[in-house]
Structure 1
Amino acid sequence: MTILLRNISNASVPTSPSPEMMSFMNLVLGIFILVSLLVGTVSNGLFLWVMWVKMKRTVNTLWFSHLIFTYLLFCTFLPFFAIYSFFGFHWVFGTVACKLIISLFSLTMFTTVFLLTVISLDRYLLICHPFWSQHHRTIPQAQRFVAGVWLCSLVLSVPYMAFQETRAMESGRTKCASNFAFSSDWDKPEAQALRHRVHVALFVVRFLLAFLLPFLIIMSCHCRMVWEMKKRRLARNRKPFWVLVAAVASFFICWIPYHLYHGSTTHWESFRTTRQALRVAMAVGECFNFCFTPILYLFIGEKFQQVFKTSILALLKRGFMDIPIIPMDNVNVNEAGHQSCSISSLELKISCGNNRPSP
């Protein structure tokens, strides 16, 4: 009876999706990637052009211009992933493309999270240590930090250039995979053991440096900023603050499936259905973060109807301007209901008129 019930259970609950279902999922995923390519290229390219050509160069625009450049760089290799999905995850571009594309993908991932961390730290120093920021927060200094971010990301991406190879599978497909053992015999027990150890080590390093530690730093900065604003009764332009919150939240929410998927490849070999679902969620999250998040910059902190009445340049200027931190006690409201102030303190040195949106 026990054997019969077990057989009935195994027959009624499939262990993996059918080939027809997988083909449909691959088709839908490939179409979504192509749509993301179109949206991401247009939006990121337009935003980058506006920030580099139309807007005044400031520390804040420098941070976000490089952040959006990483988004645009990600879009350049989306066609490869779309074709990879259409072919049922059969890699047809060769070993060199496999190494190059995965390395560039790693470069954009590390650069994005490092830039978000630097932006959060910069915002923290601007609010909590204004004296220090006034003397050290300069464009040349910010450029050095940006160069350091790209250099660190490049160093962390080099191992993927070495490890990535193409592997011929028994089904006749070719897979772009990591050969952590540098062995041509993929099924050799010694090579599999070494490959597993190196894989786990790299996963832990990537999870710590590209997710957990930046998340803790960013959350600490934001909590301290909110506490400082309430303590000192500081007013702020809300749009730049919410643009940063949207960028950070989008990154961490969209990249959770990525780390769960790669964590599953180290220990959850038996859960094929879970891994396949995580792979789809990972691709959707990555595309949304790099291609659709910049569109949120226009809508965040704005009334929906106002977005369509205001130029993109004005919306981006309000979103990426350096935040003027103003004590609430010094903020007056004029007859029209707009805030106005005049401050000559050593700490802030801000002089502002009516807070009207740019035309």
Structure 2
Amino acid sequence: MDSFTNHTEDDANNDSDYPDYEPDNTSGPVVPTPVSPALCTDVVCVLLATVNVIITVLGITGNGLVIWIAGFKIKKTVNTVWYLSLAVSDFLFCAFLPLSVAYIVMDTTWVFGRFMCKFTSFILFLNMFSSIFLLVIISVDRCVVVMFPVWAQNKRSIRRALVIVLLAWIVSALLSLPAAIFRDVDDIHYVCYYNYTYDEQHVAVVVCRFIFGFVIPLLIIMFCYFLIIRKLKSNHMARSNKPFRVMTALIVAFFISWLPYHFFNILEISLKDPNVISIGQRFGGTFASANSFMNPFLYAFMGKDFKRKCYALLSKIESTFEEEARSTLRGTSITTSGDGKLSTTV
């Protein structure tokens, strides 16, 4: 690939966490120029701004409730550590989402400075990596409870869970650093964009995010599911499947939400159609953001009698965590039967 200086090439500039701008087609260094102000009055712009406002309100409210319940209202368990950390990740992302909304509304003009340009992008990918790593941890933990109940009963502890969560956040922060390093602000047009020096840097960042933030976690989770399902079917051990449904819903929601984002980023490095890429990335990024408000509602609405649960959101979130705690205690206990089979809950 050809190298260039100062700014990215036209096709590389489309890799943005925010609505894109249209670069000049002049020779020499590419200088970003803002899109026409009319763009922020069209249907697409209004729709994106509206959806992001809804995501912000629901995400802060829902995840705030989860943090309050899991952090202060119920007894601490290994499972509440997982879900509390997941809620903190989503809450942090939603807290900075209004800056993205402002960027949409203000004619794609970034007025918050270079530091916030870098930091908000860093938070986006910190949320992505920490969320998927926590879902992997939850899946592996559930698999260990089913496959090795005695070991899980003796070794699973809140302290170990906190250490694992801390390591997950550290790794997530390291993988999110490129978003802060390459993000920049054009001092003339006040555009927050990616300033790659070489095409190879752009490709490496996109591929790294796809592999470590999507492919590898998906393979690990699928393997854990295979082991869990095989164990349950062979020993007929399941007593309650609500915790399993909650975990499944969280994982499916994450992958469905982030798949369009990764798809258009991968497409960007091979397809030279900036219009298609720009529109796809805008909707892909918004769709990915929606994952940050889904989890609290999944906690509450995964059981029966959906309509009644709509009127008791707070109590249902709390009951979900309590059931997680009870199911884990049952899952790590051994019941000896005549044929020597184990009784475990997932």
How many Å apart are 1:310 and its aligned residue?
Answer: 5.0
Instruction: Show the counterpart of 2:193.
Output: 177
How many Å apart are 1:302 and its aligned residue?
Answer: 2.2
Q: How does 1:111-150 map to 2 (within 5 A)?
A: 111-150=130-169
Compare 138-147 and 157-166 and name the one that shifted more: 157-166
Instruction: Show the counterpart of 1:307.
Output: 309
How many percent of aligned residue pairs carry the same amino acid?
Answer: 30
SS of the residue 1:267 aligns to: coil
Corresponding letter in the other structure for 1:23: T
Instruction: Show the counterpart of 2:241.
Output: 238
Instruction: Show the counterpart of 2:74.
Output: 55
Give TM-score, length-normalised by structure 2.
0.80
**More RCO (CA 8 Å, sep 6+):** 2
Instruction: Show the counterpart of 1:274.
Output: 276
Give the length in aligned residue pairs.
305
Q: How does 1:198-237 map to 2 (within 5 A)?
A: 198-237=201-240
Corresponding letter in the other structure for 1:180: Y
Instruction: State how far apart, in whole Å, the 1-side matches of 2:253 and 2:189 are.
Output: 34
Instruction: State how far apart, in whole Å, the 2-side matches of 1:245 and 1:19 are.
Output: 43
Cα deviations across residues 72-124 of structure 1 (Å, max 9, x unaligned)?
00111111110111123222222111111111111111111100001100000
Instruction: Show the counterpart of 2:30.
Output: none
How many Å apart are 1:305 and its aligned residue?
Answer: 3.2
Instruction: State how far apart, in whole Å, the 1-side matches of 2:84 and 2:253 are.
Output: 17
Mapped contact 1:120–1:221 kept (Cα < 8 A): yes
Instruction: State how far apart, in whole Å, the 2-side matches of 1:281 and 1:106 are.
Output: 17
How many Å apart are 1:21 and its aligned residue?
Answer: 6.5
| Closer, same or farther: CA 233–31 of 1 in aligned 2, 3 Å | same
SS of the residue 1:237 aligns to: coil
Instruction: Show the counterpart of 1:155.
Output: 174
Q: Does 1:23 align with 2:26?
A: no
Instruction: State how far apart, in whole Å, the 1-side matches of 2:89 and 2:313 are.
Output: 24
Instruction: State how far apart, in whole Å, the 2-side matches of 1:74 and 1:246 are.
Output: 20
Corresponding letter in the other structure for 2:117: C
Structure 1 vs Structure 2 CA RMSD: 2.8
Q: Does 1:247 align with 2:254?
A: no
Instruction: Show the counterpart of 1:256.
Output: 259
Which runs of no fewer than 5 residues in structure 2 stay unpaired? 1-21, 23-34
Which runs of no fewer than 5 residues in structure 1 stay unpaired? 1-15, 182-194, 328-341, 353-359
Q: Does 1:104 align with 2:107?
A: no
| Closer, same or farther: CA 232–161 of 1 in aligned 2, 3 Å | same
Cα deviations across residues 51-82 of structure 1 (Å, max 9, x unaligned)?
11111100001100000110100111111110
| Closer, same or farther: CA 302–173 of 1 in aligned 2, 3 Å | farther
How many Å apart are 1:139 and its aligned residue?
Answer: 1.1
| Closer, same or farther: CA 51–344 of 1 in aligned 2, 3 Å | farther
SS of the residue 2:269 aligns to: helix
Corresponding letter in the other structure for 1:237: S
SS of the residue 1:177 aligns to: strand
Give TM-score, length-normalised by structure 1.
0.77
Instruction: State how far apart, in whole Å, the 2-side matches of 1:326 and 1:232 are.
Output: 15
SS of the residue 2:191 aligns to: strand
